[in-house]
Structure 1
Amino acid sequence: MKPANSPERKLLIVDDDPDLLELIKTKLEAENYSCEAAPNVETALALVRERQFDLVISDLRLPGIDGFTFIEVLKAKYPALGIIVITGMAEIESAVKAMRAGADDYLTKPFNLDHMVISIERTLEKQRLIIENRDYQQFLEQRVREATQEQRKVFHELRKTKEYLENLIESCVDAIISFDLNGKIRFCNRSTENLLGRPVAEVLGQHICTFCSGGRPAAERLIKTIHLQQKVRNCEIELLSVSSNQITTASVSASLLQDVEDSDLAIIAIFKDITEQKKLQTELQELSIKDNLTSLFNQRHFYRVLEKEMIRAARQKHPLCLLLLDLDNFKQFNDSQGHLAGDRILEQVGSIINECTREYVDHAFRYGGDEFTIILSETTIRQATEVAERIQRSLKQAFSGALSLSIGLAQFRAGLELENFINSADKAMYNAKRAGGNQIALAGVRRRSVHK
């Protein structure tokens, strides 16, 4: 298998900024990618028609045809092509619109080129897995279909074809199960034992619902879907392993077929264990919302969570507070001690914030640089102040008073816009800064910390 950054990987970069084009092209060629550049959509489409690219990196704001239309055109003509969009627009709606149009990932300006390389590697790996899984499923379906047709056409070759089919099925690492429309299992291969945790002899004759974590309703939904559509691909279902009592996530590709012996309709299904793949997807999703240095949530996730909590607070009339924290004199510390020492400080501050907030209730984020935010759900101003003071005490104890925080505190009010809510906490924090630091300032009111 070729590594994702082998010289054969061809990338197309589309942007109307020649300096940015040259910067990205130089970086990616240093990473052993073969790159082409285009200043507009028309040139890019011409290059895509002439040459075969693995991935396109495109700005959303382009002269002429807009970036969203460009993405839709590419996905319609080249569905296997990976697409990463670059945008200076920080609105979440723009990112969502780009992803719905077919983009695999997006980066917001200004961005780190190393982050772009990670995004490219992840997108190329995703495309490889999609193509590999599609080809694999097609291969299995084709072989099963050919074997079935051969049985009907050539009776004297039945034994040879039957042996070939059995060897193929038994050598398959995925579970292949055939059951009637009532759900009774008629056939399964040896790989089924690994998936369901029972010997083949104990699986045959059982109802498929026996092994569905959702019981009979889940099994009946699967059977009904296959019966209506006649063929399904990559339908997810949760199965229960009887021996370990563990739930396994499987991807089901199934077809409705006519039984040769009694002419009854039956279902042949391939169950692929994707538990580890789902776990990887969860981990990747976790990485996409976490700050790599502090393990707190990142700024992108902050806006999503705050918007949801504001809606919930307005609907349920619960108190909601926002803390915005900034390390005092951190730039001078960074300049004198170095960035590595600064990074270690930020890691420790992240740990202190985690320890001083409620797990699964409060939400802590690294807002950027040495700034942090905390969303305190169902929390009054008095309780939020106690949280802020607890963080200040812990910080003072951890660093023997050498470091301090300026903290801005804002309380949500019905009708308050998200941007204004953040700005009120931000202004309060700067009030604390102007008062000498190591302060907790309430939006509209300044309050000296008892720990200064």
Structure 2
Amino acid sequence: MTHSQPATPVDLTASLRGTLKAVFSPATTQLLQEAVNAEPNFKNIANIIKLDPALSAAVLALANSPFYGQSGKITNVQRAALILGNNELLRIALSLCLQRNLSAVLSAHGFDAFANWRVIVWSAIGAELIAETLAPEEKETAYVCALLKDLSLLMYAATFPEQLRPHVRQPDFVRTSQALTSWQDMFPQRHAELTADLLHSWHLPRPMLETITAHHDIDRLFDYSPLTQAVILATRWAEVEFRDDPVPDSLAQLSFMLGKIGALPQNGIEDLRTRCTARFHELCMAMNIHEQPLEERLYSHSLQSIQDFHYQTKEVESISGGQQAVAQCIARHLRWNWNCQTSEIILYSLHSGQWEHFVFDQEMLTASSLAANIADLPLHLGATLPLRHHGEILGELRILALPHNGHKAEATLYTRLLSQCLHRRAQTVQILEIKAELLDMLPAGVALLTDAGRIVRANPRFEACLGKKAVEGQLIQDILRRTPHAPVVEGWVSFLDNPQQNNHCVISCDLGLTSHHYAPCLSLSSYKISTAERSNILMLIQDLTEIRILETEALRQRDFLHRLLGSMQDLVMAIDHTGLITYAAGKYADFLRGKNLFSITSPVLTYPQSWTIDALEGNPQAIEVQLLLDDEPLLLELLFSRLPSGPDHGLVVGRDISSIRRLEHKIKQQALLDALTQVFNRHHLLPILEREIARARRTDESLGMIFFDLDKFKNFNDTKGHHQGDIALRELGQILRRVLRKGMDFPCRFGGDEFVIVSSATSHPGLMAMCKRIQQELYALYSGEITLSFGASLLEEADTATSLLERCDQANYQAKSAGGNTIALLQSQG
């Protein structure tokens, strides 16, 4: 079962318990109950195993493995129990059940089930082996505790896979020490405590629950019982053996702690690792758990071998002299370890930002090159060993071949350890080298002094400014006395003697009146720096000749930008975090400066939030606003850019779009309205009619239409002229706009002197009244010289827009036929 959203801290345990019941079979629960019994019942164990043929076959396969050294084949569970013992048989069956129930669920959600079970199984076997010495009577309990300790993590992965997957940094997410994971903050409590809460429902004894709760508490190892100590050490052991970046010192530390609590065998930790490896290999085969590739198994190497390679690669971490020195050291290791007389070393350089390619023959560097991408380097036909740290490519080692397959695992271990050292070197030595190089390249003089003024370290520019060499170890006041800048020494000595003065800045310029040689103007700035160990002074010297040139250039650029902004048609404003305009350029600069942008503008569109700096800054698109000027409003498009530094919060550019909007409005009106009468044109009649028909049928309201034209209009045009005819049409349009209901009646010019009115929510009397009102208004203007003939109808059930228009046209024809200046209402028969 899975959830799209993680449970709250209150019901997380309940959610995981639900998954626990859904995932685990009854056989698993029954085996666990037997495991926690003081005297497991063989008959119950055998019956549970027999009910599951797959489990029975897996148990027998493990019982017949070389690990148990049986001369004859074990063919049934009874025989297996007799040979192995009830406790061993129970542990095997429980391990197989747990792994089989969970692996399918984890794999289905995209997790690496094998990687997690490798860590779990190793810690369970390790806990049992350590407990053989610390608590022999509880070794089976130690195995079960280590097997179950990460149950909450597995249940969380099965319940909330979508939430967990993006945060997992390594496939075996059960390795949860603080340095190895980034998702523990997702849990409302420590996962060990959560596991104990889950297992409480399975009635595990309190000592087992306490052991599971403490399985990561390595800092208080010696405060716990022998059972808990065994599980804690086994947990750390598994984390060390299966790390992507091996830490040899952790194995040595583990060996030390085992010795301190009396659990280290006579032959040392290697004896434990060998026994654990053999048992782990057989159990993985029986549980169908895929082991890591041979070359990636840390446990396949002896502690001595791991430490040898560790000490070799540590040499690389602290080496100085650049990437060539590092490559020479690596080439020497390749010759020592695997007799590789020729090799190619590829390393990434932080100094150049490129890949450096070194070719060695014997001890000699025969060629080197640079490439922006590692793929641009020549292909290599031999063996390639990548240098990779947490997925980051650091370089490659290229050799002709390894003498035999066994060396591949050694070479892989070497490159894994080497990659760690190269990564640490890049973060320490290389950074320090770059900083030292930058210090030497600085155009300003920099020196570190003691609190008495003695120079500890100075860059070349510092010496050049003073005209001296090898100044380290000398007092700065003595050096200054021998230069044209001697007058500043008195103030400098006063700065040294005054504990309340933390900085001292002075400008010294030699006017050349008494000196035979020109001395540049210098700015000398000194700062007292105190730490817990010592007090020092940082001194900076800068040639003001260069500063004056830069200042002049900056002023020139400032004036140019000011003229440029002043000539722009757009408004340019700088505002603080409240919206106060601190700078303005453009036509309205004087009006804008000192006002609050959000007080003198208002958005054209309605915003869900208030009109403040957050609304402006949070919108990546231009915002259209109305600027309230003294004479008339101005429409602007505002674009905001955040200023990275300085007292101003951001830059606002306002583009005047008033003329654009006026033009848009005019174009829209021309496209929508008849130019002469200012009512809708014929192009918009059909969309309006279809829209109103749909609305009438949706709301079950009536809809009417009036089709009318002018009587005697041709004669009027002929006698009065077309200009007067246009005036009459324009005045008719004004009548329609004045008389009709806004938003309910829609007048359209159909063509020539013909007009159509679409009238919503009306009736026959309503249509008659509307027609008469229009007749009266026109008569008042022209006293019957021109009149109107109306044809009207209401929408019928079978009508379409076309049929309604045709019926109104027919009604208009009837009105005209009756002599004009009349109103005809027409509906279909029936």
Taking structure 1 as the reference length, what is the TM-score of the superposition? 0.52
Matching of residue 176 in structure 1 with residue 572 in structure 2: yes
What pairs up with 1:391-410 in 2 under 5 angstroms? 391-410=774-793
Matching of residue 342 in structure 1 with residue 713 in structure 2: no
Deviation at 1:359, TM superposition (A): 4.6
1-side partners of 2:551 and 2:749: how far apart?
A: 70
**AA at the equivalent of 1:158:** A
**AA at the equivalent of 2:775:** Q
2-side partners of 1:311 and 1:267: how far apart?
A: 51
2-side partners of 1:155 and 1:319: how far apart?
A: 80
Deviation at 1:415, TM superposition (A): 6.3
Return the match for 1:320 from 700, 703, 707: 703
2-side partners of 1:369 and 1:186: how far apart?
A: 57
Contact 2:716–2:725, Cα closer than 8 Å, also in 1: yes
Which residue in 2 is equivalent to 1:440?
A: 823
Matching of residue 189 in structure 1 with residue 584 in structure 2: yes
Gaps of 5+ in 1: 1-153, 227-231, 447-452
What pairs up with 1:77-88 in 2 under 5 angstroms? none
Which residue in 2 is equivalent to 1:225?
A: 619
Which residue in 1 is equivalent to 2:740?
A: 357
**AA at the equivalent of 1:224:** G
Q: RMSD in angstroms over aligned alpha carbons?
A: 3.5
Deviation at 1:212, TM superposition (A): 4.1
Contact 1:294–1:346, Cα closer than 8 Å, also in 2: yes
Which residue in 1 is equivalent to 2:653?
A: 270
**AA at the equivalent of 1:386:** A
Change (3 A) 1:402 1:278: same
Contact 1:213–1:247, Cα closer than 8 Å, also in 2: no
Matching of residue 213 in structure 1 with residue 606 in structure 2: no
Map Cα deviations across residues 9-68 of structure 1 (whole Å, 9 max, x no partner).
xxxxxxxxxxxxxxxxxxxxxxxxxxxxxxxxxxxxxxxxxxxxxxxxxxxxxxxxxxxx
Which residue in 2 is equivalent to 1:237?
A: 624
2-side partners of 1:310 and 1:347: how far apart?
A: 28
Change (3 A) 1:167 1:395: closer
Q: Residue 225 of structure 1: SS of its match in structure 2?
A: coil
Which residue in 1 is equivalent to 2:810?
A: 427
Q: Residue 680 of structure 2: SS of its match in structure 1?
A: coil
Taking structure 2 as the reference length, what is the TM-score of the superposition? 0.30
Deviation at 1:331, TM superposition (A): 3.4
Deviation at 1:340, TM superposition (A): 3.3
Matching of residue 251 in structure 1 with residue 637 in structure 2: yes
Deviation at 1:365, TM superposition (A): 2.2
Q: Residue 295 of structure 1: SS of its match in structure 2?
A: coil
**AA at the equivalent of 2:602:** S
Deviation at 1:421, TM superposition (A): 2.4
**AA at the equivalent of 2:681:** N
What pairs up with 1:11-160 in 2 under 5 angstroms? 157-160=553-556
1-side partners of 2:578 and 2:700: how far apart?
A: 49
Map Cα deviations across residues 170-217 of structure 1 (whole Å, 9 max, x no partner).
33343212347x5645743144856xx9551x23xx5x5444424863
Q: Residue 740 of structure 2: SS of its match in structure 1?
A: coil
**AA at the equivalent of 2:617:** I
Deviation at 1:386, TM superposition (A): 0.6
**AA at the equivalent of 2:784:** G
**AA at the equivalent of 1:317:** D
Change (3 A) 1:277 1:432: same
**AA at the equivalent of 2:610:** P
Q: Residue 406 of structure 1: SS of its match in structure 2?
A: strand
What is the identity percentage for the equivalent residue pairs of Structure 1 and Structure 2? 27
Q: Residue 393 of structure 1: SS of its match in structure 2?
A: helix
Map Cα deviations across residues 99-153 of structure 1 (whole Å, 9 max, x no partner).
xxxxxxxxxxxxxxxxxxxxxxxxxxxxxxxxxxxxxxxxxxxxxxxxxxxxxxx
Runs (4 or more) in structure 1 with deviation over 6 Å come to none
**Number of residue equivalences:** 276
Greater CA radius of gyration, 1 or 2? 2
Give the number of the structure whose residues are more often strand, by fraction.
1
Map Cα deviations across residues 329-370 of structure 1 (whole Å, 9 max, x no partner).
433444555433433332343334344333554322221111
Which residue in 2 is equivalent to 1:100?
A: none
Deviation at 1:258, TM superposition (A): 3.6
Change (3 A) 1:199 1:403: closer
Which residue in 1 is equivalent to 2:687?
A: 304
2-side partners of 1:273 and 1:223: how far apart?
A: 20
Map Cα deviations across residues 75-119 of structure 1 (whole Å, 9 max, x no partner).
xxxxxxxxxxxxxxxxxxxxxxxxxxxxxxxxxxxxxxxxxxxxx
Matching of residue 383 in structure 1 with residue 766 in structure 2: yes
Map Cα deviations across residues 208-238 of structure 1 (whole Å, 9 max, x no partner).
5444424863443431233xxxxx5xx2421
Contact 2:716–2:786, Cα closer than 8 Å, also in 1: no
Deviation at 1:383, TM superposition (A): 1.1
